[in-house]
Amino acid sequence: MMAPARRRASAKGWLSAVSSPKFITFCIAVSMVLVFAGTIAQVSMGTFPAQKRFFNSWWVFAATPWGFRVPVLPGGLTVGLLWLSSLLASLFQRFKYGWKSAGLVLAHVGLILLLLGQFLTQTLARESQMPIQLGHTMAYAESTLDTELAVVEGSDPKFDQVVSIPYSRFSRPGEIKTPLLPFVIDVQRFYRNAQLTMASAAGAATQGVGARIAVQQEPPVSSDDDSNAVTAVVEIKAGGQSLGTWLLSSGLGAPQTVHVDGKDYRLYIRPKRYYFPFTLTLKDFRHDVYPGTDIPKNFSSLVRLDSESGHEHRDALIYMNHPLRYAGLTFYQASFGQNDTLSVLQVVRNPVWITPYLSCAIVILGLAIHFLMSLQAYSRRAA
């Protein structure tokens, strides 16, 4: 008879503990330490790795002199979860609902939505880049961080057949078999980053350009403006027979060609590509500067959008603070190059982009109501 009541009481106890100001203050304090540490770390680690280590993780680990790593701080995901539980508990437990608390309740509901939105963004959003040359047409964007091993077969004049092998698969030695290809790719050596030089004696591979190139391992880099030359030496086997070894690297400009069953296959290690059901053609790129200076005043790309289904053919002007939103993707003017003949568009897929707008409106409304009511009470007392 007593047990359920006690359980209810203890659940209640938990709720009020989690929603207590002490716990909330603790959460805020931990967040501040995390944000501070994560910001400082960006200087040495680069923005993205620091984000991943501090904010997109459950725990932040630090190396010890004894070789193993220990968690030193809860990561962004843990802190977010703490916040979320505390906010939810306070909705159930803490607030005495009524006009007086309406503003605060609204603000906290908005915060819950904001946190959920940020969590979904961190898990669902995908960023890539589309470097597009003046007059060229592109149907895909490239990842800035992720690489793929692509095998392209181009005997059909209408389209290429592309088989993409993800980084996680080709980054460890071993055989890669797939029914899509008439041969087996056996990864013999893999380098996260490498330096390629002309070989004085034998090259790293037996076939292709690799026969003349030596590979030297390099420590992987993580800063924002360096990139790794992801490199692998692979053996191609067809019909139980070795055709030789090839050197593949994102540092090589050209693909390596393998000839199997009368067909040519081009092998690349390249930034991972995301294909779209539409194409963009860069019609014009403008880079205006203030007169007499090289301070940029404006960048804009005029693109033509053609959908694959053929229903949509239109021009769009992408410039600062004015992205193109289309098919769940957003295209931003990010960068440029090659004497203003190359425009780089940042491509973001974020299905929950609307949540911050909504949640912020709710929090702002809530805070405004609450503080205005406080101010009214204050001035009544002061008068």
Partner 1 sequence: MSSKKSLDDRLSKRLPVWLAVAAALALLPGLRAPSYRAAVPLADFGRLPALGGGRIKPLDTVARTSLLELSGRQTLAGKDGSRAALEWLAEVSFDAPSADKENVFQIDDPDVLGVLDLRQGRRRLYSFNELKGDLALIQKQADEANQVRGSSRSRYQSAIISLQDKLELYQELENTLQLAGAGNIAFGYQYLEGKLLPALAEHFKHRHTDRTAMSELGQYVEQFQFLAKVAAFFPLPVRVSGQGLHWMSVGEASIDRLRTDSFHPGLIAYASMGDAWRSGDAAAFGKAVEDYRTWLAFHAPGPASWVSDEFVFNSFDPFFKASLLYLAAFLLVFASWLVYPKTLSRCAFALLAVAFVVHTAGLGTRIWLQGRPPVTNLYSSAVFVGWAAVLLGLFLERLTRRGLGTMVAAAIGAMTLVVALHLDNQGDTMEMMRAVLDSNFWLATHVTCITIGYSSTFLAGFLGVLYIAQERLAPQRLAESAATLERMVYGVVCFSTFFSFVGTILGGIWADQSWGRFWGWDPKENGALMIVLWNAAILHMLWGKMIGRRGLMVAVVFGNIVTALSWFGVNMLGIGLHSYGFMDKAFNWLVVFVAAQLLIMAAGLWPDEPDGVRP
Which residues are at the interface with partner 1 (CB under 8 A)?
A: 20-22, 24-25, 28-29, 31-32, 35-36, 38-40, 42-43, 47, 50-51, 54-55, 118, 121, 127, 225, 289-293, 295-299, 320-323, 330, 332, 334, 346, 348, 350, 353, 356-357, 360, 363-364, 367-368, 371, 374-375, 378-379, 382
Nearer to partner 1, 15 or 234 (CB): 15
- To the nearest whole angstrom, how small is the minimum distance from the Cβ of residue 316 to partner 1? 15
DSSP H or E segment with residue 216: strand 213-217
Of 352, 216, 224, 208, the residue nearest 267 (C-alpha): 208
- To the nearest whole angstrom, how small is the minimum distance from the Cβ of residue 66 to partner 1? 29
Nearer to partner 1, 93 or 161 (CB): 93
> Are the C-beta atoms of residues 268 and 152 closer than 8 Å to each other?
yes
Place of tokens 């630090």: 62
- Burial track 247-265 (b if 16+ CB lie within 10 A, e otherwise): bbbbbbeebbebebeeeeb
Q: Give the HSE-up count for residue 272: Cα atoms under 13 Å, Cβ half-sphere.
A: 16
> Are the C-beta atoms of residues 187 and 269 closer than 8 Å to each other?
no
CA distance 38 to 117: 21
Joined tokens for residue 267? 């092998």
- To the nearest whole angstrom, how small is the minimum distance from the Cβ of residue 51 to partner 1? 5
Largest CA distance in the chain: 95
- To the nearest whole angstrom, how small is the minimum distance from the Cβ of residue 237 to partner 1? 43
Residue 100: count other Cβ atoms within 10 Å of its Cβ: 12
Nearer to partner 1, 79 or 232 (CB): 79
- To the nearest whole angstrom, how small is the minimum distance from the Cβ of residue 141 to partner 1? 12
Helix, strand, coil percent values for the chain (each to nearest 5) = 35, 40, 25
User: In 3-state terms, what secondary structure has residue 194?
Assistant: strand
- To the nearest whole angstrom, how small is the minimum distance from the Cβ of residue 324 to partner 1? 11
- To the nearest whole angstrom, how small is the minimum distance from the Cβ of residue 101 to partner 1? 11
Nearer to partner 1, 59 or 353 (CB): 353
Of 353, 352, 356, 301, the residue nearest 324 (C-alpha): 301
Q: Which DSSP letter does residue 383 get? A: -
Nearer to partner 1, 47 or 137 (CB): 47
- To the nearest whole angstrom, how small is the minimum distance from the Cβ of residue 321 to partner 1? 5
